[in-house]
């Protein structure tokens, strides 16, 4: 099978830029962004800040860089950061929170990614000679390892009240915050108004080739600009990255709904297949996670058998498989993917 024939459901990061984005890249007005002279970057940052209801924004290279910059800007060395125990920052960012930001991560369990305010409050260390200062709470929305689940505006608000009461900052890893907003048919500001600052990614369901934005107060962004520089993330003619970002914010958000519909169709199809365990209540946006233990194989083996049938999925844990819908995945691909899973299941039974 040729690579272009594979239905790639590993992640929404495999999306390619649209023709409109490629045109925008060619036409972009550019300058040196370290000197703040790239008009396209400046425009993207302004649009991003307005959309999120914050004072300012900063274009960075990736979601991981955005999270690391925010940790460096929001907290000081040795301080305690409360985060969800399966959060991207804790699991997938090479331990940068400790290795580079020199912070103490304090992971707490949640229900589908939404931290219970009482658990957050119980984790805040009181003022005492023995304890580090607790300075930051991090949320994630949608929650990746929980399967693209949504943390609702009310759930964020409840945590923000605890943060305010104890003088902690509240940060949101909103890599896929537009998926949450579109799924709840809510303005993205409904989520962002409760946090001090956040990041979101252009390079996932929004289809840009690269880039994420940090958003917050003028002071936070000014400090973050310096932190981005120290990490080697100051870019020069970054307008060629920003140009597709503007297209994404202006025209790619609403189509996420289509990805959500396809994910639901995929999940419901897969749920009928023997040997698959899937919790449909977790399928809230563009991710479909399921367990293959009943087939008596590991997720690695399952995904390699599936690939032979033309579908690429991700082994998330020993028995857990993830599929993600995105632009380029149409209804017909969903039907083919369900048939491929069915065929692997038949082979094994």
What is the bridge-based pairing of β-strands 287-291 and 320-324? antiparallel
For residue 141, report the phi and psi dihedrals to the nearest 5 degrees. Answer: -155, 120
Size of the site for ligand PLP (CB under 6 A): 12
Chain positions 6 to 25 lying near ligand PLP, rule: CB under 6 A, are: none
Closest CA to 65 of 30, 36, 94: 94
Site map 78..117 versus ligand PLP, x via CB under 6 A? ----------x-----------------------------
Contact of 252 with 21, CB cutoff 8 Å = no
Chain positions 173 to 192 lying near ligand PLP, rule: CB under 6 A, are: 173, 175
Q: Which is nearer to ligand PLP, 63 or 233 (CB)?
A: 63
Site map 208..237 versus ligand PLP, x via CB under 6 A? ----x-------------------------
- H-assigned helices in the chain: 19-27, 39-52, 63-74, 88-91, 96-99, 117-123, 153-166, 177-183, 189-192, 218-230, 239-251, 256-271, 299-308, 331-348
Q: Tell me how far apart the alpha carbons of residues 195 and 220 are, in angstroms, rounded to a whole number.
A: 13
144 near ligand PLP, judged by CB under 6 A? yes
Q: What is the nearest approach in angstroms of ligand PLP to the Cβ of residue 308?
A: 26
Q: Which is nearer to ligand PLP, 173 or 291 (CB)?
A: 173
Q: What is the nearest approach in angstroms of ligand PLP to the Cβ of residue 64?
A: 3
Q: Which is nearer to ligand PLP, 212 or 325 (CB)?
A: 212
Q: What is the nearest approach in angstroms of ligand PLP to the Cβ of residue 59?
A: 13
Contact of 247 with 238, CB cutoff 8 Å = no
For 51, residues 6+ apart whose C-beta sits below 8 A from its C-beta are 188, 189, 249
Q: What is the nearest approach in angstroms of ligand PLP to the Cβ of residue 93?
A: 7
Number of H helices, E strands in the chain: 14, 12
Site map 145..164 versus ligand PLP, x via CB under 6 A? --------------------
Q: Which is nearer to ligand PLP, 10 or 336 (CB)?
A: 10
Contact of 115 with 195, CB cutoff 8 Å = no
Q: Tell me how far apart the alpha carbons of residues 222 and 45 are, in angstroms, rounded to a whole number.
A: 13
Chain positions 43 to 82 lying near ligand PLP, rule: CB under 6 A, are: 62-64, 67
Q: Which is nearer to ligand PLP, 28 or 172 (CB)?
A: 172
Q: Which is nearer to ligand PLP, 28 or 201 (CB)?
A: 201
Q: Which is nearer to ligand PLP, 61 or 345 (CB)?
A: 61
Closest CA to 200 of 315, 44, 74, 23: 44
Q: What is the nearest approach in angstroms of ligand PLP to the Cβ of residue 158?
A: 20
Q: Which is nearer to ligand PLP, 175 or 306 (CB)?
A: 175
Near ligand PLP by CB under 6 A: residue from 201, 202, 246, 334: 201
Sign of CA dihedral 70, 76, 78, 83: negative
Q: Which is nearer to ligand PLP, 58 or 201 (CB)?
A: 201
Residue nearest ligand PLP (C-beta atom):
63
Q: What is the nearest approach in angstroms of ligand PLP to the Cβ of residue 61?
A: 8
Contact of 34 with 235, CB cutoff 8 Å = yes
Is the backbone of residue 38 left (phi > 0), alpha (psi -120 to 50) or beta? beta
Positions touching ligand PLP (CB under 6 A) are 62-64, 67, 88, 140, 144, 173, 175, 201, 203, 212
């Amino acid at each position: 099978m040729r690579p272009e024939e594979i239905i790639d459901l590993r992640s929404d990061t495999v999306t390619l830029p649209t023709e409109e984005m490629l045109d925008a890249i060619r036409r972009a007005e550019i300058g040196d962004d370290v000197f703040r002279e790239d008009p396209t970057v400046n425009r993207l940052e302004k649009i991003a800040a307005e959309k999120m209801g914050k004072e300012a924004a900063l274009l960075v290279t990736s979601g991981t860089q955005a999270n690391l910059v925010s940790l460096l800007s929001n907290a000081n060395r040795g301080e305690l950061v409360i985060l969800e125990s399966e959060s991207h920052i804790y699991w997938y960012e090479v331990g940068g929170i400790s290795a580079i930001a020199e912070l103490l991560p304090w992971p707490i369990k949640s229900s589908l990614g939404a931290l219970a305010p009482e658990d957050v409050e119980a984790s805040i260390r009181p003022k005492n000679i023995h304890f580090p200062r607790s300075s930051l709470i991090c949320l994630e929305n949608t929650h990746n390892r929980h399967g693209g689940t949504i943390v609702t505006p009310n759930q964020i608000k409840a945590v923000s009240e605890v943060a305010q009461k104890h003088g902690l900052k509240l940060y949101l890893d909103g890599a896929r915050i537009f998926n949450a907003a579109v799924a709840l048919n809510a303005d993205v500001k409904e989520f962002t108004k409760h946090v001090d600052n956040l990041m979101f990614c252009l390079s996932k369901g929004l289809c840009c080739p690269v880039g994420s934005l940090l958003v917050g107060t003028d002071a936070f962004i000014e400090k973050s600009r310096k932190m981005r520089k120290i990490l080697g993330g100051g870019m020069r003619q970054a307008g060629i990255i920003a140009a597709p970002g503007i297209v994404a914010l202006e025209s790619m958000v609403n189509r996420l709904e289509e990805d959500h519909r396809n994910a639901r169709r995929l999940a419901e199809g897969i749920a009928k297949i023997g040997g698959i365990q899937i919790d449909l209540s977790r399928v809230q946006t563009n991710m479909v996670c399921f367990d293959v233990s009943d087939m008596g194989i590991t997720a690695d083996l399952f995904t390699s058998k599936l690939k032979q049938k033309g579908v690429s999925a991700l082994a998330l844990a020993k028995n857990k498989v993830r599929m993600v819908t995105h632009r380029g995945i149409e209804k017909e691909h969903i039907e083919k993917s369900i048939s491929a899973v069915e065929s692997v299941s038949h082979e094994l039974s």
